[in-house]
Structure 1
Amino acid sequence: MRILVLGAGGYLGGHVTERLRAVPGARVLVGGRSPAADVTVDLASDRPYGLAEALAKAAPDAVVNCAGATGGDAVTLAEVNARGPAVLCAALREAAPAARLVHLGSAAEYGPGTPGLRVTETEACLPAGPYGATKLAGTVAVTASGLDAVVLRVGNPVGAGAPPTGLPGRVAALLAEAEGEAGAPGAPAAELRLGDLSAYRDFVDVRDLARAVELAAVTPGPLPPVLNVGGGEALPVRELVRGLADVAGFRGRIVEADGGGSARSAQVSWQCSDITAAGLALGWRPAHSLGASLEALWAAHPVRVAAP
């Protein structure tokens, strides 16, 4: 089985690629902007016919699209998250119409949740900002494509290699910096200053996400158009930060500064996905606790050493 992974060089794509390479009988091809990629692809700018030629040569049995933008202005988000999946679907219809497409969406597509409730895949989507809106546009392009396709709506991923553009990676970087400074002679007690941490999020280990992608790529027969992939419970962001601080051995103060949080956190105070459908369609359930995810994140994070 030939599986093409787009965005393999990114955080999620790297974990997905590693997981798929362990699948017996699978040959994994990587696609991206790097000249070293098996298939050179830039979904933000490629034309459908050019991408179709590249896909025809690769002849994939399945394509996993992990390419996406989480930051930047609205134009950047739209180019990668909305235009990209539409171009990919057009190219696949031309070059490999029988290939299974697994596209990574986002729980941000749902928008603000109702405290205490889990959102199912049939709920109306009312994204709170450009990121969620562009991811929703990408999902619509995939589900309306007529291809053998499934969108995995991912919760908040946590694990080794988390980038500083997201909260887990940013907190890990701050903790590493604080640890380095704590080793300096006469260093004051460390203090971690963050924004409001009262929001609730549905965290999922990147290893569990990668396993869901594997199952979505190899499970025979048609799948539901959208499947939620999350931890299945809402936890306070404050719990993630405190847990990561404990894993790192941080003994300083954690300060929640007024106005320091993201606009999206203020708009979306609760997010929790119902993952029942993924269990029924794929036989998938998350296997890692948030604590295990945080331990993996910190173990893989380089610790900053203070200058003498």
Structure 2
Amino acid sequence: MRRILVLGARGYLGAPVAARLAAEPDVTVLYGGRGGPREGARGAQGARGGRRMPDLGVDIGSVPVDVLAAALAGLRPDAVVNCAGLASGPASALAAVNARGAAALCEAVAAGVPAARLVQLGSAGEYGPGVPGTPLRESAPARPAGVYGATKLAGTLAVAGSGLDAVVLRVFNPVGAGAPLSGLPGRLAAAFRAAPPGAPVRTGDLGAYRDFVDVADVADAVALAVAAPGPLPPVLNIGSGEPTLVRDLAGRLAGIAGFTGRIEESGTGSERSAAVSWTAADISLAASALGWRPTRTLDDALRSLYEATAPTAGARV
């Protein structure tokens, strides 16, 4: 049995990654997080009810390297998948988890389980502005437009320079069940569900282009990266390979939700949307290195997102 540790296993990406790996017949998934019981944990034999404590209850943004290394040595994972990360918050918190956390994890893996493969989830935010019509390759310059992208890039550099058997999966814009309200698809789904009949939903500008990828396809890519014979390229893009106008995403999600009101745009939208108006991934390297290509459509991802969205108050996005 392969033992695979998933850090951030309760998160938006970590949960589907852990479930996907747990579905493999020869895998035991070890769950990592900041402690506390996790609902409905899944093991190698499938779903299990009840509550379960994490196998590794740490916050990689603050845990001492020697403590983490000792814990890893005790768990003896064959691979470590780092899904832990922050997408929003103060700069100090983003740096602690995305940059310091990735660097500390590399040092701990090297000390505790040096033969383990490390799979790190990166972000398209590391690239910064793209050139309209030109998909971003892994060799493109990294020019992050904000603190989030800069801290994720710092994590990528730590992994790439660690000397470990490691790969960074640079995930573009993931969409699916559990999407957080900090991202536009999650906020839109909640607003469409909560809006009274005929009431508008107000947003910022929706004129940017993004590369949206189903979280289930991201989980498939992780499973392939864990199992692929090495060495792997240091960075692999994980996206759909197609730019989508965010306004079109909003309209498609409205159709799935049965929302018939107006979507009213005002202002400039998010700071990142203003700074990065177009982005799309070149995913050919992931196809050749992993045999991976996305198999779900954007409508599949949006449907999963909406069906999993609990009713909530408020319609301003």
Deviation, 1:303, is 3.2
Offset at 1:257?
Answer: 0.7
Counterpart residue number, 1:185: none
Whole-angstrom CA distance in 2 between matches of 1:305 and 1:92: 43
Q: Matched residues in 2 for 1:214 and 1:202: separation?
A: 21
SS in 2 for 1:125: coil
- Structure 1 residue 304 displacement after superposition: 4.9
Deviation per residue, 1:223-268 (Å, 9 max, x gap): 1000000000111011111111000000000000124x11110000
5+ residue gaps, structure 1: 183-188
- Counting aligned pairs with the same residue, the percent is 59
Please list every run of at least 4 consecutive aligned residues from structure 1 whose deviation after the TM superposition is greater than 3 angstroms: 303-306
Alignment of 1:102-121 (within 5 A): 102-121=119-138
1-structure distance, mates of 2:207, 2:264 = 12
Structure 2 match to 1:186: none
SS across alignment from 2:13: helix
Considering only aligned residues, what root-mean-square deviation do their CA atoms show, in Å? 1.1
Q: Which residue of 2 aligns with 1:254?
A: 263
| Cα displacement (A) at 1:305 | 9.0
Moved more, 147-156 or 218-227: 218-227
Whether 1:275 aligns to 2:283 is yes
Equivalents in 1 of 2:109, 2:267: separation in Å? 48
Q: Distance in 1 between matches of 2:76 and 2:69?
A: 10
Aligned equivalent of 1:129: 146
Structure-2 change in CA distance of 1:305 and 1:69 (3 Å): closer
What is the aligned partner in structure 2 of residue 266 from structure 1? 274
Instruction: Tell me by how many angstroms 1:277 deviates.
Output: 0.2
C-alpha deviation, 1:221, in angstroms: 2.0
CA-CA distance at 1:213 after TM superposition: 0.3
Residues 8-33 of structure 1, C-alpha deviation per residue, up to 9 Å, x if partnerless? 01000001001000012100000111
Task: Note if 1:176 corresponds to 2:221.
Answer: no
Q: Distance in 2 between the 1:258 and 1:230 partners?
A: 28
Task: Tell me the amino acid that sits aligned with residue 299 of structure 1.
Answer: E
Structure 2 SS opposite 1:11: coil
SS at 1:75 equivalent:
helix
Query: Could you list the runs of 5+ residues in structure 2 that have no partner in the other structure?
Result: 37-52
Query: Of the candidates 43, 47, 52, which is equivalent to residue 64 of structure 2?
Result: 47
Q: TM-score, normalised by structure 1?
A: 0.95
Do the aligned residues in 1 keep the contact of 2:201 with 2:261 (CA within 8 Å)?
yes
Picking from 77, 81, 84, the partner of 1:60 is 77
SS state at 1:28 partner:
strand
User: Secondary structure at 1:17's aligned position in 2?
Assistant: helix
Give the corresponding residue for 1:11: 12
Give the aligned partner of residue 201 of structure 2: 192
Residue 153 of structure 1, CA deviation: 0.3
